[in-house]
Amino acid sequence: MLEGCTPWPERVAAEYRAQGYWRGESLGALLRTAAEKFGPRTALVYGQRRTTYAELDEWADRLAAGFAGHGIRPGERVVVQLPNLPDFVAICFALFRLGAVPVFALAAHRQTELRHLCELSGASVYIGPAVHRGFDHRELGQALRAELPHLRSLFVVGEPAGDVLPLPSADPLDLPEPDPADVAFFLLSGGTTALPKLIPRTHDDYAYQCRTAAEVCELTADDVYLTALPIEFNFAWGCPGVLGTLQAGGTVVVAESPTPDQCFPLIEREGVTVTALVPSLTQIWVEEAAWTASDLGSLRLVQVGGARMKPEFVRGIGPALGCTLQQVFGMAEGLLTFTRPRGSAEHVLDTLGLPISPGDELSIVDEGGAVLPPGSTGELLTRGPYTLRGYYRAPEHNARVFTADGFYRTGDLARLTERGELVIEGRIKEMIIRGGDKISAGEVEAYLVEHPAVATAAVIGVPDEFLGERTCAYVVPHGTPPTLNALREAMFRRGVAEYKLPDRLELVDALPLTPIGKVDKKALVAIRELAAIREERDEHQ
């Protein structure tokens, strides 16, 4: 296994193989098998462009040969940052076949995040769009290479420039199969204390996740999956998402953006049956569905997950979209729970369902780590056949977030029903979920204190009708107090993804501290709640 990764213990791995979870199939072979079975059927749709399984298979082979020709070798890390494009799929399969390891950067990331991802992964290659939403990724790539000597090659989808190359293509090569037990790609952690950690996902574990998720969703070759969310999100890529649909022989429709004006006509035109959304988007879809001229009748299953939803909202989703709602709890680290399509109303509306694999182990513990009796609320711990055993190159962090027996501490407060269904009650970790984006409070605080007008800062999530949460920065000024705009501007100029810029600023003389001298975030949340009540009262007077 790639150095810096934590393998499953040999005995556990043997058990996962014996149970048939891990089949020794690489992700590159997953597409090969699908192409043999479903060759002339449509694998991908993007605008008017349609790609069959056979074409996608050959595209990936030619790209793999092209990358090999540029000296990309097995085990090399490649930071891939692309918006929703069919090229993303072909590039990933090419790298899987080559045994090179894509690192899934988010399309919204900017120089700060990309520098970090390149450094942490030791990437030698960056692949981006030429220009996306007015931002020139060729210049970004060049700026990164100027800073990072190990970053050797830059490729773009779209117009190349100078030594930023177009995607290569060459006659297919006979490439050795990568070890299915090895890392296929890296997903990013939502991060709670700092910039994202890298989550190694192996061929074996991810192939299993996609296959099992597809089975729970009852996906067949007749299904048409709409990639509305960013394709690099675990949810859209493999829950069952793009990979789960392709292994089942279905069609993946790639949407440029998740808005109803883009997606609703695609649903009608392509007969989309399944899609995945985050709660804030679902809200927009539900509102627009009442007015749309598009026929959404082909939809049979809409998965919603990634953040908490208000119970009263959950009830309206299925009826408004005319399909079955599936609640999803998940994390890029692994564990997925889904409500079952044929489950009772109570199961679907009041819980986040059951783990997708019989191999998933869930445990609820108290603050001291002691296992709590059934029905209690505590921190959710998990381990299983597609849940990581360690972040990449993060031994100290791993020592904190994994128990000695390999359980991952999720930082989520949860309880299990009598039937084993998951109910999320809150969060211990300092993560803000703003729409579909996860923001690390610690990371934003670190940017804020770099500003000369900030002495100290603490960031919390505050409830928001539309996004679920927004970020609120509590700042103790140093000298002339900063404005919200000045702080946002400074972060923007530093090259931080826009969704991380604070939404609100509260200037304070001091931050509340716990008895051991740490910032008391619970107290801050209480202060904010009180202030919100006062603001609402003042508005009504």
Binding region for ligand AMP (CB under 6 A): 190, 234, 305-308, 328-332, 352, 410, 412, 424, 427, 438
Query: Residue 275's closest CA among 237, 243, 301?
Result: 301
Q: How far is the CB of 177 from ligand AMP (least distance, A)?
A: 29
What single string gives the DSSP state of each residue in 368-391? Answer: TSPBPPTT--EEEEEE-TTS-SS-
CB atoms within 10 A of CB 493: 8
Query: In this complex, which beta carbon is closest to ligand AMP, that of residue 331 or of residue 364?
Result: 331
- Quick one: residue 307, left, alpha or beta (phi over 0 = left, psi -120 to 50 = alpha)? beta
Query: In this complex, which beta carbon is closest to ligand AMP, that of residue 72 or of residue 331?
Result: 331
Q: How far apart are CA 468 and CA 436, in angstroms?
A: 9
Q: How far is the CB of 390 from ligand AMP (least distance, A)?
A: 16
Query: In this complex, which beta carbon is closest to ligand AMP, that of residue 84 or of residue 382?
Result: 382
Q: How far apart are CA 419 and CA 353, in angstroms?
A: 9
Q: How far is the CB of 329 from ligand AMP (least distance, A)?
A: 4
Query: In this complex, which beta carbon is closest to ligand AMP, that of residue 211 or of residue 438?
Result: 438
- Quick one: residue 362, left, alpha or beta (phi over 0 = left, psi -120 to 50 = alpha)? beta
Query: In this complex, which beta carbon is closest to ligand AMP, that of residue 255 or of residue 335?
Result: 335
Q: How far is the CB of 307 from ligand AMP (least distance, A)?
A: 5
CB atoms within 10 A of CB 247: 23
Query: In this complex, which beta carbon is closest to ligand AMP, that of residue 22 or of residue 237?
Result: 237
Residues of the chain by 3-state class (helix, strand, coil), percent to 5:
35, 25, 40
Supply angle C-alpha 78, 79, 83, rounded to 5: 130
Q: How far is the CB of 539 from ligand AMP (least distance, A)?
A: 29
CB atoms within 10 A of CB 25: 18
Q: How far is the CB of 88 from ligand AMP (least distance, A)?
A: 18
Query: In this complex, which beta carbon is closest to ligand AMP, that of residue 155 or of residue 402?
Result: 402
Grouping H, G, I as helix, E, B as strand and the rest as coil, residue 518 is: coil
Query: In this complex, which beta carbon is closest to ligand AMP, that of residue 84 or of residue 234?
Result: 234
Q: How far is the CB of 410 from ligand AMP (least distance, A)?
A: 5
Q: How far is the CB of 335 from ligand AMP (least distance, A)?
A: 8
Q: How far apart are CA 524 and CA 11, in angstroms?
A: 46
Q: How far is the CB of 427 from ligand AMP (least distance, A)?
A: 6
Does residue 158 contact residue 131 with C-beta atoms inside 8 Å? Answer: yes
The torsion defined by the Cα of 457, 463, 465 and 471, in degrees rounded to 10, comes to: 20
Query: In this complex, which beta carbon is closest to ligand AMP, that of residue 207 or of residue 277?
Result: 277
Query: Residue 495's closest CA among 116, 80, 132?
Result: 116
Query: In this complex, which beta carbon is closest to ligand AMP, that of residue 352 or of residue 473?
Result: 352
Q: How far is the CB of 411 from ligand AMP (least distance, A)?
A: 6
The torsion defined by the Cα of 145, 149, 150 and 151, in degrees rounded to 10, comes to: 10
Half-sphere exposure of 345 (CA within 13 A, CB side): 6
